[in-house]
Amino acid sequence: MKILETKHFEEILKLFPQLSEFVVKEEDIRFYHEKDKDNNFYQVFGTHFTLEQLNGFIKKYLIDNVRNNLKQSQEPSKLCINVRRGDFYEKGNSSIYGYDQIGFIRHVFEVHLSSSYFQNIKIVSDNMMWCRQELQFLKKYTAELTFPDFQNPVTDSFLEVINSEELILSNSTFSFWAAYISNYMYENTQQTYCPIFGSRKIKNTDLYQTNPNWNIISDFNFNQF
């Protein structure tokens, strides 16, 4: 099975050129090619793939490129928080994907990390201006709060999330895949915090891509935003 290449693939394929074997250009599609009519994303953890299969895929296609692109002197962050804004909060999409992100992050610290103080916390987002304005309260939980800017926003931010000892995720596949790889590198599955909420497009709004060994945050009101 292959997926149709779009403009969004360009940066990812530069970082992971081996993935090109799973991608097809539109001009190479022929009428006789069999097409998947199920409209299925095949993302259900434990159903469409096992942890063993996931780690095998990471080992074969991803991990070498990650390690080669991380600077040798670059120590992992103590905690990285990935905040998905962008199209999730534009054009009415917040009614589908949105939740109170500030309240959620506060909740994670106050309830699940109440005794923690981090040497450093890095924020990675597709809207760093919003994060700089809204997340300054995190300074009380760390000696160093940073909002790094990236030369290549997609790949550099992806690597930054991967390269962390602990993670707080968003309801985004960008977050999940960074966490999968980070878990493989640092064995930090139990130091990964993820909202249970995914989308209001489906009757059951719970995420289905999550590793069951993550800290799945379900004790927060995701309908208040």
- Predicted confidence at residue 225, as pLDDT, reads 75
Distance, in Å, from the CA atom of 178 to the CA atom of 182, rounded to the nearest integer, reads 6
Average pLDDT over residues 157-169: 97
As given in the structure block, the two tokens for residue 223 are 């309908």
Within the chain, which residue ranges are assigned CATH 3.40.50? 51-217
Report how far residue 78's alpha carbon sits from residue 145's, in angstroms, rounded to the nearest whole number: 11
DSSP secondary-structure letter at 62? I
Contact 165, 186 (CB under 8 A): yes
Global pTM exceeds 0.95: no
- State pLDDT tens for residues 168-187: 999 999 999 999 999 999 99
**Tens digits of residue pLDDT in 22-81:** 987 767 666 656 766 666 678 999 999 999 999 999 999 999 999 999 976 689 999 999
The answer as to CATH 2.60.40 being correct for domain 51-217 is: no
